[in-house]
């Protein structure tokens, strides 16, 4: 990955925007820089007193962002983005990036853990409020999973999907690749964190999914390698997180949500339900991107990743439903509704992220950078 941690771009406001809003955005920008300084502090937990002023200002910004984003349910993207970026900087320490080992000096910091837990508590409460959990608990879980999977396998085209298929330009396609590289270049990494433990058919199915994502141990066949080839075809940056500043908070939220679910064994069913949706619905999204690339007359290298995923994820979707979700519903009859919660949350958050990505693409096409 790149050696320098990056700042997120501040939105440009019109002259009519209030000074208070401008001040809050500037404060978030400054607070993230302060947090990155804390992240790099040697033995942070034993040096908190030396960083008192920085910690005070940072925590003040976090409190303001939580109040704005979750308590008042504001549409202020800067507050959401700040919080999701902070969570991501902490969560990414759970993966190894083959970079400077000193970056992991605080990977078990109690202070960083408390920051993550504080933000997650408010964020997850806000996310859960958007799902009718009571209704899920009253459903026939296996029937509901099958019905959801059948509906999401070939959904009707949304306005966003039609835009990608029929209107998106080459500039927009490159912007799509830039944002998608955030996940595409480290694909499957979070799945690896739930595979340990007792062996059974469910575990073995998940291992099979991971192995295919990782090209069965061959770098040339790893899915991220195919994604890098698409980027390379346009002379784009192929380093993980190379376009981090372009990633909407809605996409970051999906990543952070998966970090949370794979970090907690208690959320195993929720993660399995979410992964079931991801694998079932993936081919439909990738077909949109493939159609766009074909319409633009792009080379095989510029679209190869989508073709690979359409073929493999159709299989993965069946595996996840038939060999993971449904067996887990039988194994945990009293908690099986959590599979539906994970499924529905992943769908909700993915749809939200997709809309944000299309909005970002439209803006990029206006700029034509």
User: Rounded to two decimals, what is the model's pTM?
Assistant: 0.91
Of 109, 128, 147, which residue is a domain's last?
A: 128
Question: Is residue 89 located within the same domain as residue 143?
Answer: no
The domain tally of the chain equals 2
- State how far the Cα of 271 lies from the Cα of 338, in Å rounded to an integer: 9
Question: Is residue 266 located within the same domain as residue 209?
Answer: yes
Of 65, 98, 128, which residue is a domain's last?
A: 128
CB of 8 closer than 8 Å to CB of 83: no
pLDDT at 313: 86
Q: What is the pLDDT of residues 299-333, one digit of tens each?
A: 999 999 999 889 888 999 999 999 999 999 999 99
Question: Is residue 137 located within the same domain as residue 33?
Answer: no
Question: Is residue 352 located within the same domain as residue 283?
Answer: yes
Write out the residue range of the structural domain in which residue 319 sits. 133-367
* Residue 246 in domain: yes
* Residue 2 in domain: no
Of 80, 109, 128, which residue is a domain's last?
A: 128
Nearest partner of 145 among 317, 299, 2, judged by Cα: 317
Nearest partner of 329 among 247, 367, 273, 368, judged by Cα: 273
Q: Is 98 left (phi over 0), alpha (psi -120 to 50) or beta?
A: left
* Residue 156 in domain: yes
Structure tokens at 154: 């070939």
- As to burial, measured by CB atoms within 10 angstroms (0-12 exposed, 13-18 middle, 19+ buried), residue 3 is exposed
* Residue 4 in domain: no
CB of 269 closer than 8 Å to CB of 339: yes
Q: What is the pLDDT of residues 244-301, one digit of tens each?
A: 999 999 999 999 999 999 999 999 999 999 999 999 999 999 999 999 999 999 999 9
């Amino acid at each position: 990955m790149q050696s320098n941690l990056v700042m997120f771009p501040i939105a440009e406001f019109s002259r009519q925007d209030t000074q208070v809003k401008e001040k809050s955005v500037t404060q978030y920008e400054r607070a993230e820089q302060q947090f990155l300084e804390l992240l790099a502090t040697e033995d942070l937990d034993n040096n908190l007193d030396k960083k008192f002023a920085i910690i005070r200002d940072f925590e003040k910004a976090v409190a303001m962002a939580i109040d704005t984003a979750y308590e008042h349910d504001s549409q202020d993207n800067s507050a959401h983005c700040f919080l999701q970026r902070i969570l991501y900087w902490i969560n990414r320490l759970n993966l190894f990036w083959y970079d400077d080992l000193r970056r992991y000096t605080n990977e078990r910091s109690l202070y960083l853990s408390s920051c993550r837990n504080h933000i997650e508590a408010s964020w997850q409460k806000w996310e859960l409020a958007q799902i009718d959990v009571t209704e899920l608990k009253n459903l026939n879980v296996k029937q509901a999973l099958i019905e959801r999977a059948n509906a999401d396998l070939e959904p009707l085209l949304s306005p966003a999907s039609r835009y990608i298929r029929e209107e998106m330009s080459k500039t927009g396609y490159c912007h799509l690749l830039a944002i998608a590289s955030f996940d595409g270049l480290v694909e499957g990494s979070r799945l690896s964190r739930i595979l340990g433990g007792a062996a059974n058919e469910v575990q073995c199915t998940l291992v099979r999914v991971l192995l295919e994502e990782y090209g069965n141990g061959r770098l040339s066949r790893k899915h991220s390698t195919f994604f890098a080839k698409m980027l390379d075809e346009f002379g784009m940056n192929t380093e993980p997180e190379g376009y981090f500043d372009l990633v909407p908070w809605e996409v970051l939220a999906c990543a952070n949500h998966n970090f949370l679910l794979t970090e907690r064994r208690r959320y195993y069913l929720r993660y399995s339900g979410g992964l079931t949706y991801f694998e079932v619905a993936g081919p439909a999204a990738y077909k949109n991107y493939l159609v766009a690339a074909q319409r633009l007359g792009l080379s095989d290298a510029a679209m190869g990743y989508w073709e690979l995923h359409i073929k493999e994820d159709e299989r993965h979707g069946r595996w996840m439903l038939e060999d993971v979700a449904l067996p887990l519903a039988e194994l945990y009859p009293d908690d099986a509704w959590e599979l539906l919660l994970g499924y529905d949350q992943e769908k909700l958050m993915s749809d939200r992220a997709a809309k944000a990505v299309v909005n970002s693409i439209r803006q990029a096409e206006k700029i034509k950078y």
